[in-house]
Amino acid sequence: MEYTHLGRSGLKVSRLCLGTMNFGPYTTESDSFTIMNKALELGINFFDTANVYGWQLGVGVTEGIIGNWLQEDTSRRDSIVLATKVYGKMGEGVNDAKLSAYHIKKACEDSLKRLKTDHIDLYQMHHIDRDTPWEEVWQAMEQLVREGKVLYIGSSNFAAWNLVQAQYEAKNRHFMGLVSEQSIYSLRNRNIELEVLPACKAMGIGVIPWSPMAGGLLCGVLEKAETGRRTREPLQQSVEKLRPQIEQYEALCKTLGYKPADVALAWVLQNPVVTSPIVGPRTVQQLEDNVKALELQLDSETVKALDTIWPGPGNQAPEAYAW
């Protein structure tokens, strides 16, 4: 396993991050334990979750599974960098969502209880809150850091100008601010190449791509369909919409002799601004397959062919659309 710094921080994380969103809804607790054990065995030390995962209002199913796994062997806690998120609706109350100081404090306390730990290594804002001033957000986060309940702060799904605004306010408060941004990024969705990636590079913010395989779209979906494997309805709709591109992509991967999922993940990993893509395996076999992508280096001709099939904006802003 390879390791790298999380943004400009001194913290080192594995080049793959274990995403846990499937734990509970699609993967049983027992199988989730097996996947987490295998992740440690493979050298993955970066685990990502969120208080809303499990999709049962206010329950925090996935955090609870991770907490039970940590409790089973307390030595595991010091072997991982544990990340979770705050923002989503966690109750019926008017203050049970978003980023007010009130909700941040309560959400953190509740996550700590479910995770059965005394601190969160990376506490991420799951979305921008346009109704709460940064003075309030940073005051709440600073308090959690002072209390030792949180070590680092990250964001997710922020626009570039959100990142700049957040860092400007943090600097004024003599606070480190954001060390990471978790954004959707794959061959299928390259929007963050316009501004988010350049902003993160300039400010030393680590990039943690989510859905690097486009929700299964880049995992050999057509080949799987030919073997009789069923595809979830939302994914099937995307397949039909993008069938010509997917056909070209899978044909290229077959010519290269690589699995489509490995190519998709390797492509994201080769971006120098990317810290650690999130993989969300439902089985141990899927996790082991994901790790193989670390050994794959795509040559310039392959990258050029991928750009033709899945074109990005062509450059960062404003060069992408202006002289």
Six-digit token string for 142? 């600073």
- What phi and psi values does residue 213 have, to the nearest 5 degrees? -110, 20
Q: How far is CA 316 from the centre of its chain?
A: 22
Radius of gyration of the chain (CA): 20
Q: What span, in angstroms and rounded, lies between the C-alpha atoms of 1 and 124?
A: 24
CA angle centred on 291, ends 19 and 298, rounded to 5°: 115
Catalytic annotation, pick one of 53, 87, 249, 258 = 53
Q: Render the burial of 198-219: b for 16+ CB within 10 Å, e for the rest.
A: bbbeebebbbbbbbbbbbbbbb
Q: What span, in angstroms and rounded, lies between the C-alpha atoms of 114 and 49?
A: 12
User: Are residues 181 and 200 in contact, defined by beta-carbon separation less than 8 angstroms?
Assistant: yes
Six-digit token string for 153? 């702060």
Six-digit token string for 60? 């925090």
Whether 53 sits among the annotated catalytic residues: the reply is yes
Which positions are annotated as active-site residues? 53
